[in-house]
């Protein structure tokens, strides 16, 4: 068991460097400014993705309503003006 632990420790030293645990914070995220910038970047990306998904869903709903003849713009539904 001890030999196995030594072997694993040596492997981790090769991967992460001697004395490193492997769970240290990356250089890009060290410092408050870098962390805040990264968080802002991620928030903006998530907001864009959310908007894209909402737009795609809205388009699917509208397409289905047209296919079923239930246009939301027509009073009381019914046939859509497909011109």
In the chain, domain spans:
25-68
Closest-CA residue to 20 (of 4, 6, 9): 9
Q: What is the pLDDT at residue 19? A: 78
Its pTM stands at 0.52
Span 50-71, pLDDT tens digits:
999 999 999 999 999 888 887 6
Q: What is the pLDDT at residue 45? A: 98
Alpha carbon 29 to its chain centroid, in Å, reads 18
Encoding tokens for residue 83?
């011109």
């Amino acid at each position: 068991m001890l030999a196995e632990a030594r072997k694993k420790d040596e492997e981790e030293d090769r991967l992460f460097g001697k004395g490193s645990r492997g769970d240290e914070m990356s250089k890009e995220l060290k410092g408050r400014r870098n962390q805040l910038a990264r968080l802002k970047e991620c928030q903006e990306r998530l907001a864009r993705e959310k908007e894209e998904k909402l737009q795609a869903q809205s388009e699917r709903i509208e397409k289905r309503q047209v296919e079923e003849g239930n246009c939301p713009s027509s009073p009381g539904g019914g046939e859509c003006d497909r011109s």
